[in-house]
Amino acid sequence: MLYEEVGMFLKVVKVLGLTLFLAACGGNSSDSSGVSESVELQGFNGSWRSNCYLLDDLYVIDTFFVSGKLFSAVSEVFDDPSCSEVLATIPINGSFTAGDALVTDSGLNALEIDFLIEFEGDDFEFLDIIRIDGDTFNFGVLVDFDSRPSELDFEVTFTRI
């Protein structure tokens, strides 16, 4: 994989955790922390899109589609800040599971998310966190595949489409 593809791939992975957070907030039963014990995605399945954001020297918009515990996602790559002409698209697929609720280093509530991602014929495990605030969603600050972030990334925001 090219350096740019790896970077975009890691950002796209963050998009996927959103659905798990939604499922945890909207499941059938809750514990005292308000996090669902059941990861049911009914009502939370659908399509989500990020803002146009800078990644190295390129711009990216991520879109993902969720059905049950499966997802597919596409990163559209641009060379201009208005994200007007697509240079390339990068698709990924996979599945996910919700983990425990946590408090970030800055004191915000979030949820652990674990992904199994299929990309260009290889499988990757990825650890992340997610937080929803109304119709706005944020994932953790990218660390690497094996380390779960402890802080949220507010440079990339996702909304339901």
| DSSP code per residue over 80-123 | STT--S--EEEEEEEEEEEEEEEE-TTS-EEEEEEEEEEETTEE
Residue 115: per-residue pLDDT: 87
Determine the pLDDT at residue 91.
93
Mean pLDDT over the full length of the chain? 76
Nearest of 112, 121, 123 to residue 148 by alpha carbon: 112
Is pLDDT larger for residue 106 or for residue 4?
A: 106
- Grade residue 48 by pLDDT with cuts at 50, 70 and 90: confident
Measured torsion, CA atoms of residues 52, 107, 111, 35, in degrees rounded to the nearest 10: -130
Number of CB atoms found within 10 A of residue 55's CB = 16
